[in-house]
Structure 1
Amino acid sequence: MSISSSLNAGVAGLAANATRLATISDNIANSATYGYKRASADFDSMVINQARSAGVYSAGGVRAATSRLIDERGSLVSTSNALDIAVSGRGMLPVTTQVSLGNITGEQPLMMTTTGSFHTDSTGTLKTGSGLVLLGWPANADGSISVLPRDTQAGLKPVVINSNQTAGDPTTKMRLGVNLPAVETKAGSAGSIQPASIEYFGNLGTSETLSVTFEPVVPATGQSNQWRMVIKDSAQGNAPIGDYTLTFDASRGNGGTLANVHVNSGGAYDSGTGTLALTVDGGALEMAIGKIGDTNGLTQLSDSFATTSITKDGSPVGNLTAVEVDENGYIRATYDTGFIRTLYQIPLVDVPNPNGLTTLNNQTFQVSPDSGSFFLWDAGDGPTGAVVGYAREGSTTDVAAELTNLIQTQRAYSSNAKVIQTVDEMLQETTNIKR
């Protein structure tokens, strides 16, 4: 009976608009929630009578389908916390729950979120106030990241940063710039030995010294333009680790630059890079003395001995002063000695259909059959965006649009209620026929 179908359609309309009202209420309530993705209610018509020219029509009504618009991005809001992290573009941060860290099996559920305000707890674990723990790939001692699987969470570990940690940075490279007096290699000169002392840092953060002596080769007649360079390591009891004969160019075009380096003992000289491959107590050390014809390394000019420049990497033991994350997702610690160490890399999780993810509490999501399998990307690679520190992602709710939808929903709900009222009056008239 058509009048009964009208009643059913009106009831379906009330239910559908009530569902839409619920999504609007949720959106408005979370208009200030960081990382919130607004919900949407879409209506689909239901058709019962498909026969043409039947003379009778039965109302099918309407049904509501809700969805979460996860692929929408909110605007980024600047903050003062270095570990307030957001994603600018596609991709999500891998997280897990704090309670799952105590699982006997050692496995944690992989969840994802687009933003979070992370702080260290008493154990140094980075987590949000709601208990979400940030996951990442731990760096090796040299700051590199191992090759790990991208389609599984096997390599992901909770990010742990101890604020009271110290670290040393051993010296592995140095550049030596020294000018040697040309007059010392002339016949009849005093042949004075010229010393230089260079500090370097060992594997345990200790301060060690390389003692470098330059002894001129004084000929019987003329000028040799040659020096004997001996390098000694204090960490090895001042034992020699390199002995070289340096010959300098005396031509007009390249006068004063290196012409030849002869290895008497110790590490080899690479003419392509201008470096000596030394071995100190802690391991290999690369010392740059300049290429052949290079004016930036060792030179022999004029009549004075001068250290023009000495640069090296490494630092003594330092205390942690700051932890920040860069746009590539690398978490780096800065120490009061100026040393910067890479601790973790935060990959970005992406799925083929973000809107198909299962929505959980605290603005987190999990993979579902509708979303497809996840893949872990380096930030900025593939379809993913950049990781942004000192920032949070705002809610995607547009309050003005939601209030407009609220007015429309209210009117539609009232109209469906009016349909039910009208059907009730018509049924009352039908029952009055008997009277």
Structure 2
Amino acid sequence: MDVIKIKIKSALNYILTFLRWVVLASITGCVGGIIGTVFHKSVELVTEIRLSDGFMIFLLPLGGLLIAILYKKCNISDNTGTNYIIESMRTDDKVPVRIAPLIFVSTVITHLFGGSAGREGAALQLGGGIGSQIGRIFHLDDKDTNVIVMCGMSSVFSALFGTPLTAAIFAMGVISIGITYYSTFLPCLVASIVSYLISIYFGIKPIRYVLSSVPDLSLNSIGYTVLLAALCALLSIVFCVTMRKTEVIFEKIKNKYLRIFTGGILVVLLTLIVGIRDYNGIGMDIIENAMIGNANPEAFLLKIIFTALTIGAGYKGGEIVPTFFIGSTFGCTFGIIFGINPGFCAAIGLISLFCGVLNVPIAAIVLSVEVFGSEGLLLFAIASSVSYMLSGYYSLYRSQKIIYSKLKTEFININAK
């Protein structure tokens, strides 16, 4: 009889825990979906304003000053970003509530005036702030707060990109490389799906590309996929090092107002020198062109420089969409040079670089399915595995912990470079 009671109690524990996380994750997904949708539409609106008025780019230095002032008034360090969210998961620090509205407004300002940045850095910070606040409201302990923060990250990421499964797996694995917290899978997935449905309801189009041709699996297709992925692994190191070194150089300017103002001037001058506005803002149109086989050969290098100057100086946004830009244009150029389908090479480049700079091979493979469909899955998986191993221990997020070696089953527990 006692054994039966124990089994019943155990079963009830599973059921109650399941229901508890479904409810909490659904609430987080609702909040994240709504805020993510508003954020997405805000960035789209200011981008349209910038594109309709060529003078806006000249106000970028002043926009930078406004961002610096906002961070000062809110008593938040201008270095507080995605790295801080990741670090808080490891140290159980509470994420300040004011981070969410601050990164929202600052990212919108960056895009209004033509800074070269993405949206997902803001998504992860918005989601982290949302999750942390929900944790406070429901008086969750530190461990459960970490889970709900992951849910928040998943939800806003999903709302912005329309990739709910990628968002869930990314949040689960981006904190500590080599360890996946499977207990967070259900909450993160529920939050992602709820958020995704809300974004779809309000008219946010998910990122989807139709490739004109996908090669069959063969020695030839495997060969150039491996070569392109290896080159993308090298490019991921170049991108990460450039981002890090540029930030260090800007930090030598001790006055943060002068620092971000100087960065804004440099971006404006570089825009005038280049003579086109392709490298300001998100650049989703350039990614779309790469998928149909059109890309300037120098595009990937210029985007690295523009993004490094923007983020290094203190403007807000993210690096993942620039990663899509760099990877797709590099892959497209590779295809043109070697006479291989440039659209498919652009897709391989996008996935390979995403994996290389963030060390998330499983999320990269899932992303390939959600964005490009399942055709060519094995080639995308090969590209992700090659890029993951050959990109070393570099990362866009220096707060990432590499728990297990990429070369053998060995516990190393080091910080990403």
TM-score band, normalised by shorter chain: under 0.3
TM-score, L = length of structure 1: 0.19
TM-score, L = length of structure 2: 0.19
The structure with the greater share of residues assigned to helix is 2
The structure with the greater share of residues assigned to strand is 1
